[in-house]
Each structure stands twice: as structure tokens, then as C-alpha cells.
Amino acid sequence: MKILTKEEEKEHYDYIIRQGLQKGLVGLGAGIGLSFIGQKYWPLYRSSTLQLKAFLVSSLATAVFIIATEKASLDFERKKYGEYKENKTRNENYVTISRKDTMKIWFSEHKWPIVVGTWGLAMAGSMASLYRNQYLTTAQKMVQARMYAQGVTIIVVLAAAAFSVNTSKDPDGFQEWKNMVNEEERRINKISSSPS
């Protein structure tokens, strides 16, 4: 584990904010564009309140900003410090990664797009389901759809939290750290022993 200096912290912070703002502005533009399309072609959207439209546009921009900053943070670390590559040779210092652990790694790296995508699908599905209900007003349909989507999203977030808990054979989760430390020691020893 590396302890960052104040300069490295500032460089990291500046990088993720810059990337997040760039992508967030793209998300805001996409949200405004989708709002114009919805206003022109979708009567349900046209009849909804300005506050709800603003919420939908700002939600898209915020979600894109959050996802972009997390990805930028990971990219910054990989560019600055390199990427850890698992050594696939079988010896006493390494364990192979199971399919379950590979899925956990993939899910942890893509959890926010999955959560946002689930919210969007739940919102669209609940809107489609509620659209046929003639006893609800348009505003009531939008509120109901949002509540259903939030409920599904909370379930997905809880599932993500449960899935992120380490349930592998190594309950303390130290084997991956041991592998990383051993690999770094080998690299340092190789550099130290090579002639200058």
C-alpha cells in the first residue's frame, strides 16, 4: 500500500474532477437532448412538471459524473502505478482466481453502470406498465414509476453490497495482497540485482 503525498493527492483529485466534469457535461447535454426529444414526441413527458423534467436531466448528468469520476480514479492509479497482473503459474506463492472471484472483480469494476442501467430499465418498465392505468393522472404515473424504480435500485445496491463481501476460501482476503507484495518484491529484486 502506498501513502500518497499532498502533491499526489492534489494531482489525483484534479484529474478525477476534470474527467468527471467533462463526462458530466456530456451527460447533461445528453439529458437535455433527450428532454427535447421527449417534449416533442412523448405526450406523457410533455404533460409532466418542470421539476420532474429537471430532476430527470440532472439525474442523468449526476450519474454520468459519478461513474466517470470512479473510472477516472481507477485509470489514474493504473497509469501512475501500473496495473497488477496476476501471475498464472502455479507455485506456492500464487493461487488461481476462480470464476466466482473473476465475476466479483468484474462486478465491482462495473457496479455503477449496472445500478444506473437497472434504474433506467426499471423506470421504463414501470412507466410502460403504468401507462395503461386509466385511473391515474400523468403525475401519479411518474411518481409511481419513480418509486418502483427506486425500490428495484435499492435491491440492486443491497445485492451489490452483499456480493462485494469476500466469501472466498481466504476469509481475510490476504492472498491477493500476498501475491501483489511477492510480485513487487520480485520486481524490486530484479531491478536491484541488474547491473547499472
More reliable by pLDDT, 49 or 1: 49
DSSP secondary structure letter of residue 172: T
Q: How far is CA 60 from the centre of its chain?
A: 14
Q: Which tens digit of pLDDT belongs to each residue from 112-127?
A: 788 888 888 988 888 8
| pLDDT greater than 50 at residue 167 | no
The predicted structure's pLDDT at residue 170: 53
What whole-number distance in Å separates Cα of residue 154 and Cα of residue 36? 29
pLDDT one-digit tens code per residue, 62-104: 988 988 898 888 888 888 776 655 544 444 555 566 777 777 7
CA trace torsion 152, 154, 157, 158 (10° rounding): -110
Least confident of 157-161, 165-169, 185-189: 165-169
Per-domain boundaries in the chain: 1-83, 91-165
pLDDT at 90: 47
Average pLDDT over residues 2-9: 77
N-term to C-term CA, the chain: 27
Task: Give the pLDDT score at 25.
Answer: 92
Please indicate whether residue 54 or residue 166 has the higher confidence score (pLDDT): 54
Is 1's pLDDT higher than 60?
no
Per-residue pLDDT at 187 exceeds 90: no
Task: Using alpha carbons, list the distances in angstroms from residue 188 to 174, 182, 184, 192, 193.
Answer: 21, 10, 6, 6, 8
CA distance linking residue 24 with residue 62, whole number of Å: 7
CB 60 within 8 A of CB 31: yes
pLDDT at 164: 64
